Amino acid sequence: MWVEDWAPAAACRKTEPDQLFVRGAEQNKAKLVCSGCPVRTECLAEALDNQIEWGVWGGMTERERRALLRRRPGASWRSVLEAAKNAESKAAV
């Protein structure tokens, strides 16, 4: 199920924002915050659809998100990720 108002449920909501906007190896630590987040997919879709350039969003760095955007320019990432999330949920049943 897709969560429209995802930010209040985010694992990072109590994290200092500066911890998610780091460079280099520190990004791996920031990505750990996202690892068990219940709204990771929604967060990633937000970053991709709005082409947010900085920080770790949905467990992905700027570089990782740019690579996805290059592979599927013009994609509605919400649609892509929502379909994948729904398919995963159905497969788990």
Q: How far apart are CA 44 and CA 6, in angstroms?
A: 11
Q: Is 12 annotated as a binding residue?
A: yes
pTM of the full predicted structure? 0.88
How far is it, in rounded angstroms, from Cα 50 to Cα 47? 5
Q: Is 86 annotated as a binding residue?
A: no
Residue with tokens 């920080």: 55
User: Token digits for 11?
Assistant: 């694992």
pLDDT in tens, the chain (93 residues): 788 899 999 999 998 888 999 998 899 999 999 999 999 999 999 999 999 999 999 999 999 999 999 999 889 999 999 999 888 878 876
User: Is 81 assigned a ligand-binding role in the annotation?
Assistant: no
